[in-house]
Amino acid sequence: MDNVLKEITPKSVDYSQWYTDVIRKADMVDYAPVKGFMVIKPYGYRIWEFIQAAMDQLFRETGHENAYFPLLIPENLLLKEAEHVEGFSAEVAWVTQGGSEPLAERLAVRPTSETIIGAMYSKWIQSYRDLPVLMNQWANVVRWEKATRPFLRTTEFLWQEGHTVHRTQAEAEFETRQQLEIYRRVIEGQLAIPVIAGRKSAGERFAGAVETFTLEALMGDGRALQIATSHFLGQNFSQAFEIQFLDEDGTLKYGWTTSWGSSTRMIGGLIMVHGDDKGLRIPPRVAPVQAVIVPIPRGAEAEQVMEYARGLRDALQAKGVRVRLDDRAEFTPGYKYNDWEMRGVPLRIEVGPKDLANQAMVLARRDTGEKESVRREGFEHVVLQRLDDIQNVLFSQALEHQKTHTVQVENYRQTEEYGYRGFFEGDWCGRETCADLLKAETGMTIRCLPLDRQPLGVGCVVCGEPSQERMLFARAY
C-alpha cells in the first residue's frame, strides 16, 4: 500500500536496519499500537499458512490431532510445576479484571500451555488404553519481553504447541526425537534453512524439561537462531498434575510427557537466511507469489502483449503455480522489477513485443539473477523446473554459508578474531560455570550439544579440563 519504493539499507552497513527495512517495505509486518506487538500483514501471514499446512500434515500422518485449550490459565495451575513457574513468571501478562468486576484469582495469558493441558490430561487419562495422547494446538501466546523485534521476539506470537502423554519413557523419548525430525523436514525442506540438531545444555533447557532438543540455524550476520524445540518432560508434569494411568499390570503409574513448539519466529529466520541487499528471497515452496509476469506493453502491440501475458498467467495457474500478473498501469516495468525483487518473488517473467513475436519470454531468477529466453511452448514445465532449482539453490547457498561460518576452536578466545560471528564448535567440560564465563566474556551461549558430534578430548575451550561434550556456541537472537 506504500507505493513508493524506498532504499533498503545494505546488510553490510547495518544488518539490524536492513532487517527492519526489508520486513516493512516488503509488506510482511507492521508495528502495533502496543509496544512489542506486531501485525502480520497478508504477505507475511501467507508464508505462515504454508508452514502450517506442511507441518500439520506431518503431525497428522504421525497420529496427532488438533485441539484447542483456553487462553487464560488460573495462577494456581501455573504454580504447580516449580521450575516451570520460575522460568516463566517474569514474562506473564495477567488478567485481573473481567467485565466490571475484579477477579478473585488472577489469570495468566498463556505463555505456553503445559499447565492447563496437564490439568485436562489428568481428568481424561485413566487407563493404559487411553495412551498415547497425541495432541497439538495452533494458538497465540504472550510473553512479556523487554527487547522485541518483529517475528524474532515479540510479546505475542503465533505458534503450534504439541503435548503428548505416553505409557513408557522410551515412547516419550521417541516422540520427542520424531517431532524434532518433523521440524527439520519442514524447516530444511520448505523454508530451505539448514539446521544443526542437538540437545540443550542444562542451563538452556525449557523450564521443567528433563531434556530439550533444538534446531539451530545460522543467520546472515553470523548469529544463531533457535528455530524449533522439542522437550522430553519425563514425569515432572505428570507428577505435578497427577497424570496417572492404571497400567495393564494393575498398578497406577505416572505418564511420560513431551511438548514441542515452533512459531512465527521461523519467518524471521527465513528472511535473515535468504535475504540480500535487494530485499527478500523467498523459497518457492512457501512463496505467496512464486512467479510474477511483468508485461512490457510498448507501441502498437500493447494490447496483444497484455493478452499474451494473460495467457501465460492462465497456463501457469492451470499447473498450480502461484502466479501474479502485474498489470498496474501507473508503474514502469523497471519499477515493477525492483518491487517484486524486494518482495522476494522467486521467478520473474518478462514479456514484450519481441517475445510476443517470437512466442517466447524472458525468465529472471531471484536467487542467481540469471536471465534466459524460453519458448512459449511447454514453458510451464520450465517454470516448474526453475522453481525447483531455486528452492535447491537457496538451500545450498545457506548450507554453504553455514559451513564456511562454522569454526572449530580449542580455546574460546579464538572466537574474537571472527568478531564472535558464526557457529563455533569446541569441547566442553560440562560445567555451567564455564558456560557462564563464556557468556560473560563473549556474549556467546551454548546453542546445543550437536547430536552427531563427539568431544575431541582436547579439553574444555574455557577451562581446559577434560571434555565431556562437544558444543556448538554462538551469539544468538
Which CB, 42 or 466, lies closer to its own copies?
42
Residues that bind its own copies (rule: CB under 8 A) add up to a total of: 62
Cβ contacts of 13 within 8 Å, gap of 6 or more = none
**Residue 127, interface with its own copies (CB under 8 A)?**
yes
Q: What's the min distance (Å) between Cβ of 366 and its own copies?
A: 22
Which CB, 96 or 404, lies closer to its own copies?
96
Cβ-contact 56, 70 below 8 angstroms:
no
3-state secondary structure of 224: strand
3-state secondary structure of 71: coil
Helix or strand run (H / E) with residue 292? strand 291-295
Q: What's the min distance (Å) between Cβ of 51 and its own copies?
A: 13
Cβ contacts of 448 within 8 Å, gap of 6 or more = 196, 197, 198, 199, 200, 201, 204, 214, 216, 471, 472
In this chain, which of 23, 55, 77, 449 binds its own copies, going by CB under 8 A? 77
In this chain, which of 21, 156, 161, 425 binds its own copies, going by CB under 8 A? 156
The cell numbers describing 423, all together, are 557457529
Q: What's the min distance (Å) between Cβ of 140 and its own copies?
A: 6
**Residue 107, interface with its own copies (CB under 8 A)?**
yes
Distance CA 442, CA 444 (A): 5
Residue closest to 81 by CA, chosen among 168, 203, 206: 206
In this chain, which of 47, 139, 448, 471 binds its own copies, going by CB under 8 A? 139
- Cα distances (angstroms) measured from residue 389 to each of 281, 332, 382: 14, 29, 10
**Residue 334, interface with its own copies (CB under 8 A)?**
no
**Residue 34, interface with its own copies (CB under 8 A)?**
yes
In this chain, which of 16, 140, 368, 373 binds its own copies, going by CB under 8 A? 140
Q: What's the min distance (Å) between Cβ of 441 and its own copies?
A: 28
Q: Quick one: which segment of 92-100, 186-194, 252-260, 279-287 binds its own copies (CB under 8 A)?
A: 92-100
DSSP state of 203: G
Cβ-contact 472, 424 below 8 angstroms:
yes
Burial class (CB in 10 A: 0-12, 13-18, 19+), 320: exposed
Q: What's the min distance (Å) between Cβ of 137 and its own copies?
A: 8
Which CB, 285 or 322, lies closer to its own copies?
322
Q: Which residues bind its own copies (CB under 8 A)?
A: 1-3, 30, 32-34, 37-42, 45-46, 48-49, 65-74, 77, 90-100, 106-107, 109, 116, 119-120, 123-127, 129-130, 133, 135, 139-140, 142, 144, 155-156, 158, 330
